[in-house]
Amino acid sequence: MQTVLLIISILLIAIVLLQSNKAESASQIISGGNSDLFSQRKERGSELFISRLTMVLGLLFFGISLVMSFM
């Protein structure tokens, strides 16, 4: 069980690092610049796949961690 958790955590770290940066204009948040930071962007193709894979790996990590804590 610990080996599976270790593999999932490594995969989760790698997938999070592969995701595109959604806060491209983060410096404008602090300076108060007018930007389209919160505009609705639809994820498509590989970006959608990586986003869903991140969610699945995160839920698996949470579930396995919860099960291991009760054992």
Asked whether 19 and 50 are in contact (CB, 8 A), the reply is yes
- Total-model pTM: 0.69
pLDDT given at position 64: 95
pLDDT at 4 exceeding the cut of 80: yes
Domain ranges of the chain: 1-20+42-71
22 pLDDT more than 80: no
CA distances to 34, 49, 54 from 67, rounded to whole Å, are 46, 27, 20
Residue percentage of the chain with pLDDT more than 90: 44
